[in-house]
Amino acid sequence: MKERLMNRIGWYGVFVVGVICGLNACQEGLEPDEEVVVYENDFSGENPQEIRNGRLRSFDGTSVLGNYNNEEIAVQVDNLPSHKMLKVTVDLLLHDSWDGNAGPSGGPDIWYLNVDDQPLVNATFSNQPCESTWCLSQSYPDPYGRHNDPKTAALETELPGLCQYADSLGWTTKYSISKIIRHKGDQVTVVCGDKTVQKHLNSSQICDESWSLSNIKVSLVE
Report in angstroms how near the CB of residue 100 gets to Ca ion at its nearest.
8
Nearer to Ca ion, 121 or 220 (CB): 121
| β-sheet bridge partners, residue 57 | 64
CA distance 209 to 186: 36
**What is the total residue count of the chain?**
222
Nearer to Ca ion, 107 or 161 (CB): 107
Using Cβ positions, the residue closest to Ca ion within the complex turns out to be 97
Nearer to Ca ion, 43 or 68 (CB): 68
CA distance 161 to 203: 15
Residue 91, exposed/middle/buried by CB under 10 A (0-12, 13-18, 19+)?
buried
Is 206 strand, coil or helix?
helix
Report in angstroms how near the CB of residue 157 gets to Ca ion at its nearest.
17
Report in angstroms how near the CB of residue 112 gets to Ca ion at its nearest.
15
Q: CA nearest 176: which of 59, 94, 102, 84?
A: 94
Is 214 strand, coil or helix?
strand
DSSP 31: P
Nearer to Ca ion, 47 or 203 (CB): 203
Return residues touching Ca ion (CB under 5 A): 97, 99, 106-107, 109, 198, 208-209
Report in angstroms how near the CB of residue 99 gets to Ca ion at its nearest.
4
Nearer to Ca ion, 2 or 199 (CB): 199
Report in angstroms how near the CB of residue 116 gets to Ca ion at its nearest.
29
